[in-house]
Structure 1
Amino acid sequence: MIFRFRLLFVVVLTALLGITWCIRAATHARPPPYLGSSYRGYNSTAHLPATDHAIATFLTGQAKDDSYFTATRILTHQLLHANSTRCNSNSTTFIVLCSESVPKEQKDTLREDGATVVEVRDVQLNWWIRSGEARWKEQFNKLRVFEMTEYKRILFLDADTLLTGPVDPIFDEPEVATLTPTLIRKGQVKWGESQLPSQWLFAARSDNSLTGQREHPTPPLQAQSFNAGFFLIAPDRQIYEHLVSVMALVGRFNTHTMEQGLLNYVFRREGLMPWRELHWKWSATWPNEQDLEMEVVTLHDQFWKTGPQQLRDLWNAEKGAMLNFHDKRRLAAV
């Protein structure tokens, strides 16, 4: 009887240990490898011009309506065609990263508008990364900019960004001129995370949601966290691999804000690659009239449905200018 009891105990214990090992392996497993070595989708034929700098945005095909597509067209027009805001095309490329779900007709329209459309493979998410909006999972595709080592620097802008002036002079800022050595800080090397590069660059702007939202002062206060709708990087595939390794670790970062939570964790101020603060003039979240008066260059909001009326009127004026520009161009081509 005692022998049977001991045998049963060993069998149960062995089974429990096996189950625990399987759960642990599944929990910390990295996403499956991508076919091929490129971040591009199978149908991506974009030619990336040989410039040192790029400005990139991201478009998903899972939005509830065409609002973000229209916003992407407005941003394209402001960066490439509008006299008061366009970039120097000889030194800066404008890229629209498109997820696999973006319809062909939208990609074709953006190409006709002048954007360099790059179709990217969806970043595979671990099972534990969830949010209230299923479409938000595609926001992780913006991490593909870290793989785009064709460029020395990339400025990422969310599609719902309104320009008040040229933004490409940001590449001349001293904060982005040189890379920073990765720090050595006791207790900041976390279990399960892949090795960091020896040097890096990640610069952003404090999130005004933490310093008054729409009532924030201008110049604004600095915050502990940044908004992931505006950041400037030196692309580095090792950083991308590090981000993927963190995504495989259950509970390692707060998924409420999805990729923003991941980036704020990896580039946390107390970590080994603390994010660098850019000048407040470059970007404002929760923008208000004072930001416009003080000539903040990029204003980030869904102006087609929210924000101060003065800024919504400006966004609608830019939308009209974009549509009028392409109407005239089509007529000229007839």
Structure 2
Amino acid sequence: MATNAKTISLCIFLFLASALVTLTLRSSQHSTSWFPTARKGVSRTSQQFPINAPKVAFATFLAGNSNPDKKETDDESAEANDDDDGYFLGTRVLAYQLLHSKSAGTNNSIPFLVLCTTDVSSRKRARLKRDGAIIVLVEKLSADWVHAAVERWADVLAKLRLFQLTEYTKICFIDADTLVTAPLDGVFFDEATLTQATLPNPAEILPDEGALPRTYMFATHGDYWGYEHPYPPPTDLSYLNCGFFVFTPSTVLFNYYLSLLALPGRFDPGFPEQNLLNYAHRRDGNMPWKPLWYGWNVNWPTARDWRGGARSFHAKYWDGDPSHDLVLKAIWREQRAEMEGFYRGRDLALGGVRNKT
């Protein structure tokens, strides 16, 4: 009888423990969603998203004088189907690839921001807005001692105004001259995009520079400086390429960048924003940049990188540079034709709806 009593007691204990665990799980309010995962055409309600979900975005930059060979007036550019303004065309193709492409498109709840200097024509800004982009007008940044090595880079320092967009938790910046062939959503999960503590090395704290933030996040990849790199490419490079990077906006960090602009000779001004960021986030400094997975983006790309699984490629495929990989150039041109057909059909459909109303 004693043995039976112990068995009965054990059964009662296990039953009560099981009931307690079940009750705890049912009453918990944990959410496993980080950001929306539904694809195109799937309706969403605010109840599907966690209240404190990080706000992320893709972004690019467009300056009015980024193409010195463009037509003198915007009307002439329009008559030429904007073939004279490669960066504008690149921005449109990038918007299509990120927002609408069936093969390369990302989660369509992630906004695509286009930072435009005020000299980008209102027609072009309106076209990008119809394409689905969010236009962010910004003032130019400059310093008397900073002179870009190439004329089309004259206003690239305005890219730094991205760091003022503190309503976003993470932003992935992509240069307009980029071909995207597969979704990039996962870049926001990349280990390199975790928040880092700013290092306290006193030798790297200079009294004439602005204050550093307590934490930061700046992740990118190195510049390969040529087409002969292997795939996978090297990840131990020290010089970063800022055609593709992920960061957390910060007013303190933006003000630190401004303090560097006020110090003639602090960095080589030939590549204005890239060399400023290389100085600010040097690998042996207090805010070293972190390497992203090599497949998110490749500079100096070839079809070998594409076949290896890379997802985006940094090159001006709209121009006649004979060094560009012919396979990737053909894919970009196909994407441009697909983009133009998509928007032509959508514009006609929307025009018909407006006429009926």
Cα distance in 2, alignment partners of residues 320 and 51 from structure 1: 34
User: Within 2, Cα distance between the matches of 1:296 and 1:228?
Assistant: 17
Q: Runs of 4 or more off by more than 3 Å in structure 1?
A: 132-135
Match of 1:103 in 2: 121
Q: 2:213 aligns with which of 185, 197, 203?
A: 197
Q: Distance in 1 between matches of 2:313 and 2:284?
A: 28
Provide the secondary structure at the position in 1 that maps to 2:95: helix
CA–CA distance in 1 between the matches of 2:88 and 2:161? 19
Which one of 34, 52, 60 corresponds to residue 63 of structure 2?
60
2: CA distance between counterparts of 1:97 and 1:71? 14
CA distance in 1, matches of 2:183, 2:254: 29
Matches within 5 A, 1:129-278: 129-176=146-193, 178-209=194-225, 213-222=226-235, 223-278=237-292
The answer to whether the Cα contact below 8 Å between 1:56 and 1:95 also exists between their aligned partners in 2 is yes
Match for residue 72 of structure 1? 91
Per the TM alignment, residue 131 of structure 1 is displaced from its structure 2 partner at its CA by 2.0
Cα distance in 2 for partners of 1:192, 1:129 equals 18
Helix, strand or coil at the partner of 2:340: helix
Q: Could you tell me whether the CA contact under 8 Å between 1:51 and 1:93 is conserved in 2?
A: no
Structure 2 residues not aligned, in runs of 5+:
1-52, 71-84, 353-357
Q: State the TM-score, normalized to the length of structure 2.
A: 0.76
Q: SS in structure 2 opposite 1:55?
A: strand
Is the Cα–Cα contact under 8 Å of residues 196 and 242 in structure 1 kept in the other structure?
A: yes
TM-score with structure 1 setting the length:
0.81
CA shift, 1:100, in A, is 1.4
CA distance in 1 between partners of 2:263 and 2:288 (Å): 20
Contact 1:164 1:295 (C-alpha < 8 Å) held by counterparts: no
SS for the counterpart of 1:241 is helix
Contact 2:60 2:114 (8 Å CA) reproduced: yes
**How many positions carry a matched residue from both structures?**
279
Q: Could you say what secondary structure the match of 2:245 adopts?
A: strand
- State the one-letter code of the partner of 1:201: M
SS at structure 2 position matched to 1:208:
coil
Larger RCO, structures 1/2 (Cα 8 Å, 6+ apart):
1
User: What CA RMSD, in Å, does the superposition of the two structures yield over aligned residues?
Assistant: 1.3
Structure 1 residue ranges without an equivalent (≥5)? 1-49
Task: Pick the structure with greater CA Rg.
Answer: 2
